[in-house]
Every structure is written in structure tokens, then in C-alpha cells.
Amino acid sequence: MKILIINGPNLNLLGIREPNIYGNQTFETYLKNLKIKFKNIQISYFQSNIEGELINEIHEKGFSYDGIILNAGAYTHTSIAIADAIKSITTPVIEVHISNTFTREKYRKKSYLSPVCKGIISGFGLKSYEMAITYFELQ
């Protein structure tokens, strides 16, 4: 099984960015632990602050992977283009958020991605990614 995790803008700063919301662990450290826990699953990772690069990655891997876990960051609330990219591929996508976006600013309550994703996991910290992998693993 091949799973791709895609993180969008500002998620390269996990571990130092607003630790009261996002925690103090880097994603790279967390990813190492995920790969140990799910050693029978090939987990790939991609991060970019650039919308077009996220779309290119979705296009490139969206026909050959078993699942994509996408935390599009702020693009969740603004990007019709990323939603269109998700609609264009055959690989199922789970939308993930570290924080509970519904308890935050009003503009974070709207997701352009949710209607085209298999499901949403939000508010469980970095554990949200593990929950998404577990879903794919059980399919």
C-alpha cells in the first residue's frame, strides 16, 4: 500500500509555529514515527507553500497511490483549483487538519476541499494523520 501525505503552506514550520495550536513537534520527526508504526505501508511526503506545486503533486500521484492525506493549510479555505485537482484524480483523498478549524476564525469554517474528499479528520493534532492512515489501512 502506498500513501502520500501532502502538507500545504506554513506547515513546514510545525514545531515552531504557534505551538499552542500546532504543538512543538516537527513534522519530519512525526513522519519518522509514522513510518515505524506503519512499516508495511509505503508513506511518501510532500510539502510546499506554493499552490501550483501542490496541484502538480496531486496530479502526478493521484492515479498511482492507494490514498492521499491532504492538509492544504489555508488553501483549504480558498482554493477551487486544489478542489478541481482532487476531483480529477482516482486516488481517494482525506482532508486533514491539526486543529479543529470550526473552533477558530470564521473564515476557517469554509472548506472548498471537503465536498470532493472521502472524509475529513480535524482537531486531533498530528494524530489526525495517523487516523487517516488507519482508515486506508482498513480498506
3-state secondary structure of 67: strand
The answer to whether the beta carbons of residues 93 and 116 sit under 8 Å apart is yes
Q: Is 104 labeled as ligand-binding?
A: no
Closest CA to 104 of 138, 64, 76, 68: 76
Q: Report whether 120 belongs to an annotated binding site.
A: no
| Domains parsed from the chain with CATH numbers | 2-138 (3.40.50.9100)
**66 annotated as ligand-binding:** no
What SS3 state is found at 84? Answer: helix
pLDDT given at position 75? 97
Give the predicted TM-score (pTM) of the model: 0.94
Question: Which of the residues are catalytic?
Answer: 22, 97
CB atoms within 10 A of CB 24: 10
Residues 24 and 42: their CA atoms lie apart, in Å, by 25
| Residue 42 to residue 74: CA distance in whole angstroms | 27
Cα separation, 46 vs 56, whole angstroms: 11
How high is the mean pLDDT in each 10-residue block of the chain (139 residues)? 97 85 87 97 98 98 98 96 98 94 78 97 95 96
> 1, 6, 41: which is closest to 27 by C-alpha?
6
